[in-house]
Amino acid sequence: MKILRPIALCIIGLMLLCPAFAKVPTKAKIAFVSEKDNSWGIDMMNPDGSDRVNLIQHQGGVNQLAWSPDGKQILFGTRNDKGTHDIFIMDADGANAKPLFKAQNYKREPAWSPDGKQIAYMAYSKISGAWHIHIASTDEQSVEPTIPVGRLGGAPAWSPDGTEIAFVKAACQKREIYIYNLETNAQEKLLSENPPSMLYPAWSPDGKKIAFYWSRIGQQKGIYTVNRDGTDLQQVTETGARVLSLTWSPSGDELLYAQTANDFYQLFKVDLRTVEIEQLTHEGHNSDAVWFDPSPSSLSVSPSESLLTTTWGKVKNSD
């Protein structure tokens, strides 16, 4: 018994510290930000809007969720009464919520790399008065400022193979989507010959397309998809209401988004095959949804082997 006791205590300690024991949803779920009567939280529901439950309530604002690739944890942005932004992490069931980083100032919009080892997020520089995309290891051993995006830019989104990040660059009242190559540090504009005001880039699960919200000057607002190389631009929805967030279903045949409805943001999904739209939420404000499916068939792209061996310290600033 004296020999077994230290081993048992060690196992218990590992269970308390290691996120590997966090619960993973057994079927497809959508997590999203909810707000009602000035109370912010994170809720979860089935993809058809049923079985809605609250995972956590958080003082101040909550926004911009990111589900870990293995489904065990969720990142989320917070905002306190002083206007300071930070990033928290919690288990997928709402337990063990805590700040992700020790330094807690001016961080927002987290995005998890496909291999689960890095986090891309927005960080504010008081010196330049602008936001940059930073990339950090999840153990906070390496943090690199990489991409300046301007005062109103951001929304980093990893490609499914982990080699690129799509993001919004804002300059001179323009908001355009760029793609940053993590191996070459090169940047390229997604659509070079079209009006600006492009927001919320989201990669399709197979990495072939990017969806985004477009408030086109002099034209109707709506959600669009385009091939990674900028070809085959397609309008999915046409709406005068503002869209707040956008994500793909794990199967790649639906888009999930938040849109104003009767002065509140509600969650909708559109079937890309039939273009039928379904409203999923109806009370309070609901936005920033992320979709996780534990089914192996939903994981269509593996991270690039070459990227997994990349040293993040080699990633440099790119103009």
What are the tens digits of pLDDT across the range 158-209? 999 999 999 999 877 788 999 999 999 999 999 877 667 899 999 999 999 9
Query: What is the arithmetic mean of pLDDT over 126-142?
Result: 78
pLDDT at 6 over 80: no
Cβ contact 285:265 at 8 Å: yes
Between 137 and 207, the more confident residue is: 207
Least confident of 14-23, 52-61, 122-131: 14-23
What are the tens digits of pLDDT across the range 224-283? 999 999 999 999 998 777 898 999 999 999 999 999 988 899 999 999 999 999 999 999
How many CA atoms lie less than 13 Å away from 6 in the CB half-sphere?
2
pTM: 0.84
Q: For the chain, give the mean pLDDT.
A: 82
pLDDT score at 314: 32
pLDDT at 42 over 50: yes
pLDDT score at 308: 36
Least confident of 32-46, 206-220, 228-242, 281-295: 206-220
**Exposure letters 31-40 (e unless 16+ CB within 10 A, then b):** bbbbbeeeeb
Between 299 and 38, the more confident residue is: 38
Q: Count Cβ atoms below 10 Å from residue 22 Cβ, excluding itself.
A: 18
Q: Count Cβ atoms below 10 Å from residue 19 Cβ, excluding itself.
A: 14
pLDDT score at 104: 61
What percentage of the chain reaches a pLDDT higher than 90? 54
Angle at 54 between CA 38 and CA 92, to 5 degrees: 120
Q: What Cα–Cα distance (Å) separates residue 279 from each residue in 30, 161, 214, 239? A: 14, 31, 20, 14
pLDDT score at 195: 66
